[in-house]
């Protein structure tokens, strides 16, 4: 009799604990949803005034009528660069919150073989020239003429990796390479002859807000969000990122993406329509 009562008591306690746990996870789900919505709205609200700051400071810094002194023109330029950094931070936070909330919508685009390299040349040739660092693009032979992937996301990933490569390279070169692996993946690598990343930090830097160290942070700026966003996007695209780096010699980030066939794309698109 006594044992039966104890067992009954325990069952009741367990049931109560289960209910509490369910309530708790419901609350957690709600607050996470609230956080994502809050971040999405905030980002939007911040972007509107920031756009005016960006456009007007750009106009001022051009100083077309020579109404500003050299110093004032310099101040306008600083406002514009700081504003640009802030916009990047807002965009990154918005991307991360979308990823966390599972709200990233991917598209499957037909990407022409030369399209992405051309775009990267347009964006990074001026930076390479300014930094005095060579920029080379290599394409392996026998690459398919078109790829199917989310073109915008792929551009975003490569822009992040290339910006880092130029940021952390004082002299030498940055190379963007396109190749395929034996098991039918596309391998896009960004190689630099920059400062390199210590072995014990190579995993960590793919996490949000992680940078090699505070000192580097002060010299180079940045938020530590770029690589974690790259990593999440690459995973969403069905791929992975590999890092090889030697301190003082340079780094190589390789993005592996599945090479989808036209048949697979048709299947994906049919599934999306249903
Ligand atoms: P951010 O560049 O804004 O700091 P990231 O997430 O893109 O953020 O990079 C995180 C950190 O990884 C950087 O702060 C830097 O310490 C290190 N890192 C990334 N790319 C490179 C690179 N190509 N060479 C050396 N260090 C790098």
The 8-class DSSP code of residue 106 comes to: P
**What pLDDT does residue 215 have?**
63
Find the range with the poorest average confidence among 60-74, 189-203, 217-231. Answer: 217-231
Give the residue ranges of DSSP H helices in the chain.
2-62, 70-100, 115-131, 151-167, 214-220, 226-236, 262-273
Report CA(213)–ligand 1 centroid distance (Å): 10
Q: Is 195 in the pocket of ligand 1 (CB under 6 A)?
A: yes
Name the residue at shortest CA distance from atom 20 of ligand 1: 164
| The dihedral formed by the CA atoms of 253, 259, 265 and 267, expressed in degrees to the nearest 10 | -110
> What residues does 112 pair with on adjacent strands?
146
pLDDT tens string 209-221: 888 876 665 677 7
Q: Which two tokens stand for residue 91?
A: 């965009």
Q: How far is CA 128 from CA 5, 164, 196, 237, 258, in A?
A: 78, 12, 18, 29, 30
Ligand 1 within 6 A of CB of 202: no
Query: Predicted ipTM?
Result: 0.98
Determine the pLDDT at residue 217: 57
**Which segment, 16-20, 211-215, 247-251, is predicted with the most confidence on average?**
247-251
Residues 42-75 pLDDT 10s:
888 888 899 999 999 999 999 998 999 999 999 9
Q: Work out the pLDDT band at 159, boundaries 50, 70, 90.
A: very high
Q: Is the CB of 116 under 6 A from ligand 1?
A: no
225 lines ligand 1 (CB under 6 A): yes
Compute the distance between CA of residue 251 and CA of residue 60 in angstroms, rounded to an integer. 39
Largest CA distance in the chain: 97
- Other beta carbons within 10 angstroms of residue 71's beta carbon come to 8
Beta carbon of 162 within 6 Å of any ligand 1 atom: no
pLDDT at 114 over 80: yes
pLDDT for residue 69: 94
Select from 197, 223, 228, 243 the residue to mutate for testing ligand 1; criterion: most ligand atoms less than 8 Å from CB: 197
pLDDT of residue 202: 95
**Whole-number percent of the chain with pLDDT over 70:** 97
């Amino acid at each position: 009799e006594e044992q039966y009562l104890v067992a009954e008591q325990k069952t009741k306690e367990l049931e109560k604990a289960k209910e509490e746990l369910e309530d708790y996870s419901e609350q957690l789900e709600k607050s996470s949803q609230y956080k994502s919505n809050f971040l999405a709205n905030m980002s939007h609200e911040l972007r509107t005034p920031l756009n005016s700051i960006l456009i007007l400071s750009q106009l001022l810094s051009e100083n077309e009528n020579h109404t500003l002194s050299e110093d004032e023109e310099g101040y306008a330029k600083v406002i514009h660069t700081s504003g640009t950094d802030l916009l990047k931070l807002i965009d990154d936070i918005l991307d991360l919150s979308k990823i966390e909330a599972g709200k990233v919508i991917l598209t499957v685009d037909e990407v022409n073989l030369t399209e992405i390299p051309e775009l990267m040349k347009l964006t990074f040739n001026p930076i390479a020239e300014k930094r005095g660092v060579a920029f080379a693009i290599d394409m392996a032979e026998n690459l398919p003429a078109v790829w199917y992937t989310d073109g915008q996301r792929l551009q975003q990933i490569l822009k992040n990796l290339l910006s880092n490569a130029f940021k952390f390279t004082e002299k030498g070169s940055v190379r963007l390479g396109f190749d395929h692996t034996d098991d039918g993946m596309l391998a896009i690598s960004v190689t630099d002859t920059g400062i390199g990343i210590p072995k014990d930090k190579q995993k960590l830097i793919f996490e949000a807000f992680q940078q090699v160290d505070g000192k580097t942070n002060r010299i180079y700026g940045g938020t530590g969000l770029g690589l974690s966003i790259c990593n999440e996007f690459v995973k969403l695209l069905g791929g992975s990122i590999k890092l090889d780096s030697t301190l003082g010699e340079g780094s190589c980030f390789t993005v592996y993406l599945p090479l989808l066939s036209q048949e697979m794309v048709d299947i994906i698109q049919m599934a999306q329509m249903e």
